[in-house]
Amino acid sequence: MRTLLLASAAALSLAAAPAMADTIITFGQVSPINTVTGTADGTGTHLLGSDVLVTITQIAAGVLTPVNAFLDFTADSTSGATAPPSNVIVQHFAGSFSVNGAADGSGTNYLSGLFLDGVFGIRGGTGYTLTADGIFASDVITSLDPPRNFSLSFTNVTPAADTVATQAQNSLDCDPFTTIACNDTGWTIRTFAASVSGNASAFATPAPEPASLALLGLGLAGLAVARRRS
């Protein structure tokens, strides 16, 4: 009886295990030259990549890889950037993206969506990382359960990562105790060009293995026997 009850507990615990996050797409640009821009102005910094030819090297779908696609994304800063002399640069952004099989957006939607979070970098460095929560859609990927993450890596950042002073138009509406959804630091990431690669992840519930199903069956049988004897 004790063995059956222990098996039951183990099986039910296994069945209730949380879903594991999976990388659902990985891609990188084909061109050796910089393909994306960050543009600083009086309203903050604006990121743009248009019809960037990329190679998808991994995708959680029945698609033979590697396969070429086109990356489009746009994002606008929603906060001020970390002010100098801090070596770490952080700035919040909101935007949208698409990884599509055609340059005009009429092909297979490998992954697209909206994102909201931050860009991080080291002052004087040659890279930025955008990592964000996302809302996803896809023609081929079915595991898009939250929580989700969308990441872009900007490399060969030219000129080196830094900030410039700006008086953003929305700074007048800022709460003085927060930099979220406003630009109250007086600084923004300066204009740059860069190369890009990226990935996205989502939670997926893996199918139980045969051994796990057998253990679950034994556990349920044990619970039934225990209930009848009680």
Tens of each residue's pLDDT in the chain, 230 residues: 554 444 444 444 444 445 567 999 999 999 999 999 999 998 899 999 999 999 999 999 999 999 999 999 999 998 889 999 999 999 999 999 999 999 999 999 999 999 998 999 999 999 999 999 999 999 999 989 998 999 999 999 999 999 999 866 555 555 544 445 566 788 999 999 999 999 999 986 544 444 444 444 544 445 454 455 55
From CA 144, how far away is CA 110, in angstroms rounded?
12
Range of the domain at 175: 20-204
Nearest to 65 by CA among 23, 33, 21, 113: 23
Are 64 and 134 part of one and the same domain? yes
Are 197 and 219 part of one and the same domain? no
Residue 180 lies in a domain: yes
Are 53 and 73 part of one and the same domain? yes
Residue 164 lies in a domain: yes
Q: What is the pTM of this model?
A: 0.78
- Tally of CB atoms within 10 A around 72: 17
Are 56 and 97 part of one and the same domain? yes
Are 195 and 219 part of one and the same domain? no
2, 162 contact by CB (below 8 A): no
Q: In the chain, how many domains are there?
A: 2
Are 13 and 55 part of one and the same domain? no
Are 140 and 218 part of one and the same domain? no
β-pairing verdict for 44-59 and 36-41: antiparallel
Are 13 and 24 part of one and the same domain? no
Residue 228 lies in a domain: no
Are 153 and 219 part of one and the same domain? no
What is the secondary structure of the chain as a DSSP string? Answer: -HHHHHHHHHHHHHHTPPPEEEEEEEEEES-SS--EEEEEETTEEEEEEEEEEEEEEEESSS--SSEEEEEEEEEEE-SPPPPTT-SEEEEEEEEEEEEESSTTS-S-EEEEEEEEEEEEEETT-S-EEEEEEEEEE-SS----EEEEEEEEEEEEEES-S-EEE---GGGGG--TT--TTS--SSEEEPPEEEEEEEEEEEEE-PPPPHHHHHHHHHHHHHHHHHHHH-
Are 210 and 199 part of one and the same domain? no
Nearest to 94 by CA among 111, 73, 112, 77: 77
